[in-house]
Structure 1
Amino acid sequence: MNLRRALRAEWTKFWSVRSTTLALLAMVLLTLGLSTLAASLSHSDAYEGPITYDQLHFVHEPMTGDGTLTARVASQKATGAWAKAGIMVKASPTAGAPYVALMVTPAHGVRLIADATTELAGTATTAPRWLQLTRSGQTFTGAESADGSSWRTVGTVTVADLPTRAWAGLFVASPPTDVPFALQGRTGTVSRYLQLGEANFDHVTVAVASAGAAPPADAWRDSDVTPPPHQRGAPKPGPEAIINIDLLPGGSTRDGNGTFTVTGSGDLGRAGIGGVSLAGPTDLVRQSLVGAQLGIIGAVVLGVLFITSEYRTGTIGATLAASPRRGHVLAAKTAVLTGVVFVVGLLPGFAVALFSPALERRNGYRPPVFPDPPTVTDPVVLRAIIGTAAFLALIAAFSLAVGVILRGTASAVMLLLALLVVVPIVASGTSDAANTWIRRATPFAGLSIQQTMDVPSETVIGPWAGLAVLCAYTGVALTAGFWLLLRRDA
């Protein structure tokens, strides 16, 4: 029997045996069912509390009517990628008051933010940088310069609620950061770690359009802008409230040359604006494909039954007698099995990728706290969907090989379900080190192909490296099965 005839024979066997088609259907339903359930029940409480920051140290003086605020950020301490140092016009030195701010950051260049609702990006430069805010009515134009002579417009914004008499000056903010740690094989992060930011300013001027309205030279005041602490027993603040963290007290000094040194902590912006991120990175694509972890059961049963049913009924002897080249039998079974599982496995993947985003958005996974996941046509999403189907196909082939080795349906299924389902569940709830090892060095590593972003708490191996681990296990198992098929089975 040549390979083509073997393929045709195995194709006929696959669809003529009721147990294999039922196992295939179970794989699809389990995959689709768990993914639907996860998308329906998953919930984020990010919008149940404040999503806006307005905490910083502000050095200010009064500014009445139209005018121009100019300063050079001579240097900035890089306490974080989104540390902020710049100039600001604010209705009052209190958290939540309307404002417009122009700033430099260590890693994200120049930014213009208005009232935590608008963000415009300037050049990707760091200090030293000249900054300028010009007011005309309720309209503010931000500009930047390398030398104080040639200016580049960052953008123009409108802040409708800013009164005629406002406060203009310098500010520094240093957001809380996440610090990674590793202890006895366990990894994680210590979040909300505060550092005191610092910046030096010179060439500071507040020029007003109205004659005689310029503030006196000693009018500068310091304010740690922050909301009042939450009172015990008071209602939990809602999304429109200002986030309240324990600020490190800021301050300022001014030398005889008009150079200000300002220190401060806190942050300025809103979720999705100014680098503010209130939730850790969440791989929503991978989350929507979680059903594959239950679809493993169907793939295992299908792979085992495709070979052990012949051992149980005794038809394996006739199959091997009809094929002098037994490698063709195993190759044909593997090709038919993996081909069918791969094609059918694409269906639940594409289905959940289409409907799960709407469910996730309804349950709180929506902008600005959570960016919209890439669409189904995005290459990383296609890789995750196609890779999930490939994972199930490889699990089926691995199960087929184990079925050849053990020849018993019950023993093979029990061993595989223990390895691929029970052990990962137990390890995830008992030992971080064991969980990491299982997700990195066992066939379960193949699920890493679903990753579409780097999430430190979840990423233990790369997508392709994880799939390669599963391929290696499958290759070794098939080789062992082929060797036994040649030497043991009659």
Structure 2
Amino acid sequence: MSTIYRSDVRAGRDGFGRLLHAEWTKFRTVRGWVAGATISALLIVGLGLLFATGSHSSCMKGPVEVPCPAPILGPGGEAVEDRFYFVHQPLDGDGSITVRVNSMTGEIRKPDVTPGVRNVVSGVVPWAKAGVLIKESTRQGSPYAAVMVTGSHGVRMQHNFTEDVAGRPGGYPRWLRLTRTGDTITGEESPDGRQWTRVGTARLAGLPAQVRIGLFAASPGDVTVTPNAAFGSVEASRFAAATAVMDQVGVQGKGIGGTWKSDDIGVSLGPDGTPHHPGRLVRTGGTFTVTGVGDIAPSADGSVIERTLTGTMIALIAVIVVAVLFVTAEYRRQLIRTTLLASPRRIGAVTFVAGLAANAVTMPIGRRILQGNNIYPLPVSTLTELRVVAGVAALLALAAVFALALGALFRRSATAVIAAIAAILVPYVLATASLLPEGVSEWLLRITPAAGFAIQQSMPEYPQVLDHYAPVAGYFPLPPWAGFAVLCGYAAAALALAAYRLRRSDV
């Protein structure tokens, strides 16, 4: 029985090898296929590297142009914002801190009404935050856990920048407690300081024996999105600060009891070395009034890895043209009943392999070139990078299959090419170029084949980050695989219609 099994396996391998060799022979003997695959791959590589080479960035330090700093990385390797005002003490081993947050107010810088007069209004942005925090050290990007009140999202427990757990909504006063037991941090809240409710827990692996524990305040900028009078919208982010009044501060643990120390974590300095938009502490007896700016959250500010694949758009046009010409040429030559060389399987496989090879070369080289030009693409996980590389190749392959099916349906090259471009590329361009209202743009990227471009989005949307999540900013309304599934549906429907017509008219 084992001999039969080995023979079956060997026969299967030989059969697959013959099939692969046959497909390769068909591919290399049709010059149009070779030319189309080569051109699309060269477009991805050439335009992607040209974009990276021509992109440069620099920052100003007073009158001097200096290289921009690399992004701050969190414990998980992601780019983060880590700027806040911290009033803290050392904690050795286990311990806790309790505080009552009595109020939180703020100020927002609005556009000046009178030239030369600063227009600052009272207000608290939705994700302004204040409360208690345990942090490995005052180094930016180091592990932390915090429980806090926010401007409009109630009590939250957040840790290591990306993790966010909602507590109860409500106003002030609000009691907060953070307790360390080994590597585990527990956050609690109470309306009166007697009845406590757990908000969440966080495990900070590798937390050292001595950490910093204390009070904090931060406020991200005020993001406003104004519809454009003609098309799209205009986004603006303006300075905002938050001030929290806290008392009933109680700390327990070894090393506690010394002098409170204040640090303006991550504050930017002006050309003369003075802090720009600094935070502050005003202490009156047991009452701490803490003012902070900035945020403790994932960073959405920076280049993304998919920008190295800017040649995909032009390569997509080449793929569409080649796929349509293959099938319409077989109709012109009356070969559709005998050869059917331009099958969906062949055109899809060839396009995918060419795109995969081009993407795998372009992305790492393009990223290195960007970093050499002082542009740091936001880091992503290896799985996300693989999904973008393979997903964009699959996007090209599906577009080729979709165009092939349209060619079989219409049997006119120009009509099929125009229809494929209008279905895939035109909605994408209209949605991402701020040419339409955002609601219309999002619907285009939900219900048209252009939804497939979502497969290339590398940065997730974080609910706790105040940002403009819109197509013009590179965010898609559908998750990557859901958008890709929409394109799959269109390709499958087009193939079904083409097969139906083929059976009715040509067999």
* Class of the TM-score when normalised by the shorter of the 2 chains: 0.5 to 0.7
Query: Contact 1:121–1:154 at 8 Å: present in 2 too?
Result: no
1:195 aligns with 2:242: yes
1:49-72, Cα deviation, whole Å (9 max, x unpaired):
799998759799xxxxxxxxx995
Q: Structure 1 pair 473/79, CA: closer, same or farther in 2 (3 Å)?
A: farther
Q: Secondary structure of 1:431's match? A: coil
Query: Is 1:346 equivalent to 2:356 in the alignment?
Result: yes
> If the length of structure 1 is used for normalisation, what is the TM-score?
0.62
Deviation per residue, 1:174-203 (Å, 9 max, x gap): 232455769698696745443323322546
Is residue 18 of structure 1 aligned with residue 31 of structure 2? yes
Asked whether the equivalents of residues 201 and 261 of structure 1 are also in contact (C-alpha less than 8 Å), the reply is no
Separation in 1, partners of 2:269, 2:386? 47
Given the alignment of the two structures, is residue 301 of structure 1 paired with residue 321 of structure 2, yes or no? yes
Q: 1:38 aligns with which of 51, 54, 59?
A: 51
Q: CA deviation at 1:304?
A: 0.5
Q: Distance in 1 between matches of 2:487 and 2:266?
A: 52
Who is 1:413 aligned against?
417
Identity of aligned residues (%): 25
For residue 402 of structure 2, what is the aligned residue in structure 1? 398
Q: Which amino acid aligns with 1:417?
A: I
SS of corresponding position for 1:176: coil
> Which of 194-203 and 44-53 deviates more?
44-53
CA contact under 8 A between 1:420 and 1:444: conserved in structure 2? yes
Q: 1:110 aligns with which of 101, 119, 134?
A: 134
Preserved contact between residue 229 and residue 244 of structure 1 (Cα < 8 Å): yes
CA contact (8 A) 1:180 1:190 kept: yes
Deviation at 1:346, TM superposition (A): 0.9
Could you say which residue in structure 1 is the equivalent of 2:113? none
* Partner Cα separation in structure 1 for residue 217 and residue 489 of structure 2: 51
Matches of 1:186 and 1:253, distance apart in 2 = 46
Matched, 1:266 2:271: no
Give, in whole Å, the separation in 2 of the partners of 1:54 and 1:333: 56
Q: What is the CA–CA distance in structure 1 between the aligned matches of 2:103 and 2:39, rounded to whole Å?
A: 55
Shift of 1:394: 0.5
Match of 1:386 in 2: 390
Letter in 2 for 1:414: I
Amino acid at match of 1:275: I
The 8 Å contact of residues 289 and 450 in structure 1, kept in 2 or not, is answered as: no
> Partner amino acid for 1:194?
A
User: Amino acid of the residue matched to residue 246 of structure 2?
Assistant: A
Aligned counterparts of 1:242 and 1:261: Cα–Cα separation in 2: 24
| Matches of 2:409 and 2:32, distance apart in 1 | 20
SS of residue in 2 equivalent to 1:439: helix
Q: 1:291 aligns with which of 299, 308, 311?
A: 311
CA distance in 2, matches of 1:405, 1:221: 74
SS state at 2:99 partner = strand
8 A Cα contact 1:428 1:435, kept in partner: yes
Q: Counterpart in 2 of 1:66?
A: none
In structure 2, relative to structure 1, the CA distance for the partners of 1:432 and 1:352 (3 Å cut) is farther
Residues 478 and 202 (structure 1), Cα distance of their counterparts in 2 relative to 1, 3 Å cut = closer
Unpaired runs of 5+ residues, structure 1, are 61-69, 81-104, 132-143, 147-151, 158-168, 209-213, 231-236, 268-273, 324-328
Q: Secondary structure at the match of 1:195?
A: strand
How many angstroms apart in 2 are the aligned matches of 1:112 and 1:294? 48
**Cα distance in structure 1, aligned partners of 2:330 and 2:41:** 24
Structure with more relative contact order (C-alpha pairs < 8 Å, separation 6 or more): 1
* Whole-angstrom CA distance in 2 between matches of 1:25 and 1:41: 24
Which segment drifts farther, 388-397 or 440-449? 440-449
Aligned AA (1:364)? N
In structure 2, runs of 5+ residues without a counterpart are: 1-15, 60-65, 72-80, 90-94, 106-128, 149-175, 188-206, 462-468
Letter in 2 for 1:174: A
Q: CA deviation at 1:284?
A: 2.4
* C-alpha contact (below 8 Å) 1:172/1:265 kept by paired residues: yes
Structure ID, larger Rg: 1
Q: Does 2:483 align with 1:479?
A: no
Tell whether 2:218 aligns with 1:174: yes
- Aligned residue pairs, count: 377
1:57–1:223 Cα contact (<8 Å) kept: yes
Whether the aligned pair in 1 keeps the contact of 2:38 and 2:354 (CA below 8 Å) is no
Measured in 1, the distance between the counterparts of 2:263 and 2:449 equals 58
Trace 1:77-476 onto structure 2 (pairs within 5 A): 109-114=133-138, 117=139, 120-121=142-143, 127-129=176-178, 154-155=209-210, 172-177=216-221, 179=223, 190=237, 192-202=239-249, 237=271, 244-245=276-277, 251-254=282-285, 259-267=286-294, 275=296, 280-282=300-302, 284-312=304-332, 314-316=333-335, 319-320=336-337, 322=338, 329=340, 333-366=343-376, 372-374=379-381, 378-429=382-433, 430-433=435-438, 434-455=440-461, 456=469, 457=473, 458-476=475-493
Name the stretch that deviates more: 416-425 or 353-362. 416-425
CA contact (8 A) 2:101 2:245 kept: yes
Q: Tell me the distance in 1 between the aligned counterparts of 2:407 and 2:458.
A: 33
Q: 1:110 to 1:338 in 2, by over 3 A?
A: same
After TM superposition, the score normalised by the length of structure 2 is 0.60
